[in-house]
Structure 1
Amino acid sequence: MSNELSESKIMQALDWAYDKAINGVSGLDSASELADSYMKKNSSPADMANSLIRWQNTKAGTSGFLTGLGGIITMPVTIPANIASVMYVQIRMIAAIAHIGGHDIKDDRVKTLVYACLTGNAAKDIIKDAGIVIGTKLTTNAIKNISGKTLIEINKKVGFRLFTKFGEKGVINLGKAVPLVGGIIGGSMDSIATNTIGNIARDTFITN
């Protein structure tokens, strides 16, 4: 029962982070604005995505950037602030990559695929079960054909994977929000994991 509750909280936190990433918050670009800044460059969508991923790893993982997120960590869900901020940063990156790929990031089906990408390498199996093979062209029609039932199944698997991921680190069990201190959050931003998630997002939403 407690696991279900925690997974439910994680999904609530994802929805919160997605809303902030899509609509933007004071002082930070929205996912589409972030994507547009890379789309001005004369390069292929895959190259744009790779540039964004490199920036994410070198800039967004710094404690200064994450400390600047303090203003957005006012969420109704009981989840540690370090997890919430990492979710926000990574979701914004994935959604920006989806936008570069020409997908409607306000579509619930795209949102669910963004969530799946958060699970890293596990996303391949989760998305494959939905009839989509990562690395092949993900057309708008293919996304439109994903049923509501399939979306629910994907979200369940994502919630379980993320609960397991954060639970292993012990941070999901803190019970109360961690003070938004750069060092604490900076330690949670694993650049290797972020790079993997970025690559999964690129391979999902953009055809090389």
Structure 2
Amino acid sequence: MTDPSDHLVTPAQLRDLADRAEALSTELRATQALFLLDGRAALIPLAHQIDGDPDQIRRTAATLRAVASGLAMVNARPADACQALEGGCPDHGCTLVDDHEADLCHCGEKLRFGMCFIHGAAWPTTRTWCVAPGCDRTWDYPRRLLPCPETARWIVGPGELRRRLCDGHALARRTILGETSITQLTSTNQPTEPAGQRRT
């Protein structure tokens, strides 16, 4: 876990910004209503100019809350965590899928080729699960989009490519990429976060 005093951006700051964005969205919607209630036909085009802005700002607020949650998880990672930049299954590695799969971003925008027009790589709103045969682990956050939180148990790769990886990511490097330079670390600590819920 990192020292919060070193963080330039905190989850609390992002949540506060989200609150202010939602308040601004509400104010804009009220202002638009006043334009329409004024009764002057000349104001209607002006009201329509801000028609989509409140909804866009509200979607931005939702994005900020999602990012705040992700940032809190990243900040809570222990110093001995796996160095993989994407989450995986503790047992099987790179076998995760999200149940939004190429439909909608968390902001509501339809995805095209897995990308959101507003946010780029989509941040799913629902579960992540492992698709390895016989595995029933699930997570209620976009685990693939965050650095792996599992404890590193292996040194994988030669020289400058060497990384400290968890069981799942070390297995993936060996079975998918054919990596042969794998050495077990001396630490035998247990994983520092729950290894996912069991599907019911």
- TM-score normalised by the shorter chain: which range applies? under 0.3
Q: What's the TM-score, normalizing by structure 2?
A: 0.23
Which of structures 1 and 2 has the bigger CA Rg?
Answer: 2
Q: What's the TM-score, normalizing by structure 1?
A: 0.23
More strand by share: 2
Greater RCO, 1 or 2 (C-alpha within 8 Å, sep 6+): 1
